[in-house]
Structure 1
Amino acid sequence: MTVCLGIDQSYSGLAMVAYHRETKVWKDSLTAFPADRYVTQSDRLDAIQARVALNVRDIEDTLGRIDVVAMEGYAAGAKFGRELAGELGGVVKLALLDVLNKPACYPLIIAPTKLKKYTTGKGTAAKAEMLLAVYKKWGVTYADDNLADAHSLARAANTWLTRTGTKAEMDTLKELKRFKGETHLV
């Protein structure tokens, strides 16, 4: 049994999409963490880590063992919110490590431009283009761009794991490199 998990981490919509390769069953979740709901940023991060852990346990309970995780990387050159994005990515990784506790699941980190290229063929696609590409390419409709990105990440994880996909997909993923226990596509 092989389950691939895609995570698009965002405070406004942390999206997780899991795919069971053999049964072709998909499972997705979307949770927002607006700052005004929490007393401190630490409370917010604690809630995120707990939610990710619950979602991962639920995925493994319903679909089976997660074999590979792909997370969206940070936007290179972003001027605002880098520290908050780093904290968010860190607690997601900690939740994965805590629940999965196996090196095979250390995440593939895929830069936003590479994810767009994998999905649409170009690294500059807008959010609406990603939603449309997910529908055209895989027949899946999402109203939220975070879920579309997470879906694309789960597909990329599956392509990376199985070494099967279109030539363009494979060419994009060839650039994945190991970096301190994680695999990055920057």
Structure 2
Amino acid sequence: MSEQRTFTVAGLDLSLTASGIAYRDGSTSTVKTRQKDGDGRLAQIEEAVQIAVGGEHLGLGPAVELVAMEDIPQNSHAAKPISMVHGVVRNLLQKQGIPYVLITPATLKTYATGKGSGDKVPMALAAYKRAGREFEDDNQCDAAWLRWAGLDWLGCREFSVPAVQREALKKAIWPEVKR
């Protein structure tokens, strides 16, 4: 009998002021930055993501095998600062050879709740219902859902969601992950 392969996935809900991170072990945190730190905030976020994705050079074991990130929201006043954060993080992941997937907010909400619009409350309720998890803020909740989506796509579900909700994941462009 063959053993099912497990994967390590991190989830990132990036923003310049409060980035949610879901680590490979399922724990979560929020990286909060201060406006007065200017572009130094980008370095803070990069350092936190570096720790989250791991790597031998940090003494954290092998790097995660996939990072699932919320895509930059279109037609949003936050798109410009989030784009700066994405640039820093994507560059870091590229340098380390870590594949990543961008999942739109609507796709993530559909995967989590069955509905692609709405506020953050249904996401939190779905996390509690499916995983028994509560979070300090919606950034951590979104990051956890991103991690769960990545694990689900790779066949390593931590819980099940209805098939129609899983179908939403097909909208993302998934990278090749070494099996």
Task: Tell me how far apart the structure 1 counterparts of residues 145 and 26 of structure 2 sit (CA, whole Å).
Answer: 12
**TM-score, normalised relative to structure 1:** 0.78
Do structure 1's residue 96 and structure 2's residue 93 form an aligned pair? yes
Q: How many residues are treated as equivalent by the alignment?
A: 167
TM-superposed deviation, 1:172: 0.5
Q: 2:169 maps to which residue?
A: 173
| Structure 2 runs not aligned, ≥5 long | 1-5
TM-superposed deviation, 1:162: 1.6
Residues 151/63 of structure 1: CA separation in 2 closer, same or farther (3 Å cut): farther
Do structure 1's residue 35 and structure 2's residue 35 form an aligned pair? yes
Residues 63/160 of structure 1: CA separation in 2 closer, same or farther (3 Å cut): farther
Q: 1:140 maps to which residue?
A: 133
CA contact (8 A) 2:22 2:28 kept: yes
TM-superposed deviation, 1:64: 5.0
What does the per-residue CA deviation read over 1:50-109, in whole Å, with 9 as the maximum and x for residues that have no partner?
22213322898567541111000011221x1322111011111122233xx22xx32110
CA contact (8 A) 2:22 2:144 kept: yes
SS in 2 for 1:66: coil
CA contact (8 A) 1:2 1:64 kept: no
Question: Among residues 110, 123, 128, which one is paired with 1:130 in the alignment?
Answer: 123
Q: 1:76 maps to which residue?
A: 74
| Structure with higher strand content | 1
Q: 2:64 maps to which residue?
A: 66
Task: Tell me how far apart the structure 2 counterparts of residues 65 and 81 of structure 1 sit (CA, whole Å).
Answer: 29
**TM-score, normalised relative to structure 2:** 0.81
Question: Among residues 81, 85, 89, which one is paired with 2:82 in the alignment?
Answer: 85
CA contact (8 A) 1:49 1:94 kept: no
Q: 1:162 maps to which residue?
A: 155
Of all paired residues, the percent bearing the same amino acid is: 27
Q: 1:5 maps to which residue?
A: 10
Farther off after superposition, 8-17 or 156-165: 156-165
Task: Tell me how far apart the structure 2 counterparts of residues 170 and 132 of structure 1 sit (CA, whole Å).
Answer: 18
Residues 55/46 of structure 1: CA separation in 2 closer, same or farther (3 Å cut): same
TM-superposed deviation, 1:120: 0.6
| Structure 1 runs not aligned, ≥5 long | 20-24
What does the per-residue CA deviation read over 1:111-149, in whole Å, with 9 as the maximum and x for residues that have no partner?
011101110110113112211111112111112100000
TM-superposed deviation, 1:163: 7.8
Task: Tell me how far apart the structure 2 counterparts of residues 81 and 129 of structure 1 sit (CA, whole Å).
Answer: 22
CA contact (8 A) 1:52 1:92 kept: yes
Residues 162/61 of structure 1: CA separation in 2 closer, same or farther (3 Å cut): farther
